[in-house]
Chain A
Amino acid sequence: MEELTAAVITLTLYLLVGTIIALLSRRVGIKTTSDYYVAGHRLGGILAAISYAATTYSAFMMVGLVGLTYATGVGAFGFEITYLLSTIFLLSYIAPKVWKLAKERNWVSPAEMISDLYGLKPLSLIVAAMYLLALIPYASAQLIAVGRMVEGMAPGLYWLGIVLGVVAALIWTGLSGMWSLASTDLYQGLWMILAAIGFVVWLFLWGGSDIASGTAKMAEKGLLGMKWSPLVFVSYSIPWAFFAVTNPQVVQKLYTPKDEKALRRLITLFTLFGLSYTVIVTVIGLASRALTEVGRLPVIKVGDQVTPSLLSYAPLPLAVFVFTSIVAAAMTTMDAIVLALSSTASRDVYQRYLGGDDRTAINLGRVSLLILLLVLSYVAYLKIGFIVDLSVLASALLLPLAPVTLIGWFYGRRSRVMGYAAAASLASGFLIGLYWALVHGARKSLTTPILGLPPTLFILLVSTLIMAIPLLRR
């Protein structure tokens, strides 16, 4: 009973503060789709940075990555840090160019960006279809995480978690688009990092010297070395290495900073947030395993259960605070995905094909947000097992966007041949990924080689080669 009361109070407080922040953000005038979806390219550095970080780091971190580190050791840290190393480079090297182009050409949706770079209108529809197919399972998995966290705090109330998640997402993104999204992201991002710090500090105080003795035992089992096979490591890390250019929810964030200083701050603060969060999360995973090695914790066979098991030993206020931070991590990712998908509906379909005005496009965007959230809630409510599996595939399915986007940013000449090559590259890469997933199952498809190569590397090579042909002919 005490747990339930604490959970209800914390969740209510979390939702209330978020809603007040979203309501306050309404004061910013919204007149155009650019204002609504990319904050009129007027976001400050701190807001843009934490929003970028909170969108990137989903519930996977505190649930999935803790479990992965627990099961496979230090290699899991390498998998996540490879993402960060690559993203630091991509943001620093490319973001200034993208940000400048976005302002000049008034890009609002990432699908619109691709079709504009190649001067081929239907490309935006192909990209939009890829986003929908790849990201609906990923966003549904976030909503499932919200439901499970609420269920963990208040047993039997999974459905309430889904309802609260959908209503909060609708208010927090629907009200003022990117403005309310970024403001609530800042609040939730701070909640995430503070909870993570509290969690790791408590864990070390609680575990004490047992963590050191357990770490020595882990060394004997090779968990401090590289347990991941090269095939699995390469296959898992490649989609994440290109995450910053393939996922619309983060690409769209690059359009938002108000000036170069804000963009630079985005990169710097995001890196600090990302590194701190990754270190904390993996240290929690390693320390938990060390505690299992010395018998302080039972052996946990399901990776996703490591954090909940650990929190059952934590003081109640901390446990509820951390559980809510996982809800926040899931919410920030889901909110950004639905806003990015909604921008495709109102901008790429309505405005570009039907020439509609801004006011109607924004309202249509809000309606599409509602429809998307209803679809997600239905999928999440059914708790279909393969949805979570498919969400793992999301970044692999979006991987063909990496060469298409990068070549577009650097060599975009708006030639028809390049446009057709981009369409062929996207379609073939996506279909290879989908076919492999249908044949081997979503999870296994990432670790079953294609012609001896890691599957994601194969997809990347095929898509890049198709894009390279017209470039070489030139």
Chain B
Amino acid sequence: MRDKAYLMWSMLVLALSYTVSYLVLRECRDLSLYAFWLVLTLVHFAVTLIYLRGNVTWKS
């Protein structure tokens, strides 16, 4: 369950990385696109840390 949730989350992150840049922030005139990718990576990293800490497959 935990693995599946992390898999889904990662797919969502990758999908957002591709789509938001074209559908929402393509024409932006400030650093929003840069900030979006940076924040997305930081959030993904935070979620990954939680996943790594509690993942049972690490202990099996």
Write the residues of chain A forming the contact surface with B, with a CB cutoff of 8 angstroms. Answer: 74-75, 77-78, 81-82, 84-86, 88-89, 92-93, 96-97, 215, 219-220, 222, 224-226, 230, 233-234, 241, 260, 264, 267-268, 271, 275, 279, 282, 286
CB–CB A219/B29 < 8 A: yes
Residue B1 at the chain A interface, CB threshold 8 Å: no
CB–CB B27/A93 < 8 A: no
Q: Across the two chains, which residue of chain B brings its CB closest to A81?
A: B37
CB–CB B48/A86 < 8 A: no
User: In the complex, what residues of B have CB within 8 A of residue A78's CB?
Assistant: 17, 21, 33, 37
CB–CB A224/B58 < 8 A: no
Alpha-carbon distance A188/B49, docked complex (angstroms): 26
Interface of chain B, helix or strand or loop or mixed?
A: helix
User: In the complex, what residues of A have CB within 8 A of residue B40's CB?
Assistant: 81, 85
Alpha-carbon distance A77/B36, docked complex (angstroms): 11
CB–CB A85/B14 < 8 A: yes
User: In the complex, what residues of B have CB within 8 A of residue A279's CB?
Assistant: 38
CB–CB A226/B52 < 8 A: no
Max chain B C-beta neighbours (<10 A), residue from A77, A81, A84, A92: A92
User: In the complex, what residues of A have CB within 8 A of residue B34's CB?
Assistant: 74, 77, 224, 282, 286
Shortest Cβ distance from residue A444 to the other chain B in the assembled complex, whole angstroms: 23
CB–CB A96/B30 < 8 A: no
Residue B49 contacts which of A93, A268, A275 (CB distance < 8 angstroms)? A268
Alpha-carbon distance A84/B41, docked complex (angstroms): 8
Alpha-carbon distance A82/B22, docked complex (angstroms): 14
Write the residues of chain B forming the contact surface with A, with a CB cutoff of 8 angstroms. Answer: 3, 6-7, 10, 13-14, 17-18, 21-22, 25-34, 37-38, 40-42, 44-45, 48-49, 51-52, 55, 57-59
Q: Across the two chains, which residue of chain A brings its CB closest to B31?
A: A224
Residue A82 contacts which of B17, B32, B57 (CB distance < 8 angstroms)? B17
Leading 10 A-B pairs by shortest Cβ distance: A89-B10, A219-B29, A226-B26, A81-B37, A226-B21, A225-B28, A74-B34, A260-B58, A74-B33, A92-B48
CB–CB A267/B48 < 8 A: yes
Contacts A74-B33, A219-B29, A268-B52 given; does A96 touch B18 at CB 8 Å = no
CB–CB A81/B10 < 8 A: no
Residue B26 contacts which of A86, A89, A225, A267 (CB distance < 8 angstroms)? A225
Contacts A96-B57, A271-B45 given; does A224 touch B30 at CB 8 Å = yes
Shortest Cβ distance from residue A368 to the other chain B in the assembled complex, whole angstroms: 36
User: In the complex, what residues of A have CB within 8 A of residue B48's CB?
Assistant: 88-89, 92, 267, 271
Q: Across the two chains, which residue of chain B brings its CB closest to A84?
A: B41
CB–CB A88/B17 < 8 A: no
CB–CB B52/A264 < 8 A: yes
Kindly count the residue-residue contacts between A and B in the assembled complex, taking CB atoms under 8 Å apart.
Answer: 94
CB–CB B45/A86 < 8 A: no
Residue A93 contacts which of B3, B21, B41 (CB distance < 8 angstroms)? B3
Alpha-carbon distance A268/B50, docked complex (angstroms): 11
Q: Across the two chains, which residue of chain B brings its CB closest to A229?
A: B22
User: In the complex, what residues of A have CB within 8 A of residue B10's CB?
Assistant: 85, 88-89, 93
Alpha-carbon distance A241/B15, docked complex (angstroms): 12
Shortest Cβ distance from residue B35 to the other chain A in the assembled complex, whole angstroms: 10
Shortest Cβ distance from residue A457 to the other chain B in the assembled complex, whole angstroms: 12
Residue B13 contacts which of A89, A97, A271 (CB distance < 8 angstroms)? A89
Alpha-carbon distance A74/B14, docked complex (angstroms): 17
Shortest Cβ distance from residue A351 to the other chain B in the assembled complex, whole angstroms: 30
User: In the complex, what residues of A have CB within 8 A of residue B32's CB?
Assistant: 224
Alpha-carbon distance A275/B25, docked complex (angstroms): 21
CB–CB A81/B17 < 8 A: yes
CB–CB A77/B26 < 8 A: no
Alpha-carbon distance A222/B27, docked complex (angstroms): 7
Shortest Cβ distance from residue B56 to the other chain A in the assembled complex, whole angstroms: 10
Alpha-carbon distance A302/B8, docked complex (angstroms): 41
Contacts A92-B51, A260-B58, A267-B48 given; does A224 touch B33 at CB 8 Å = yes
CB–CB B57/A226 < 8 A: no
CB–CB A97/B57 < 8 A: yes
CB–CB A77/B37 < 8 A: yes
Contacts A92-B52, A225-B33, A268-B52 given; does A85 touch B41 at CB 8 Å = yes
Alpha-carbon distance A220/B29, docked complex (angstroms): 7
Q: Across the two chains, which residue of chain A brings its CB closest to B23?
A: A226
CB–CB A85/B21 < 8 A: no
Alpha-carbon distance A230/B48, docked complex (angstroms): 28
Alpha-carbon distance A442/B49, docked complex (angstroms): 39
CB–CB B58/A96 < 8 A: yes
CB–CB B22/A226 < 8 A: yes
CB–CB B14/A226 < 8 A: no
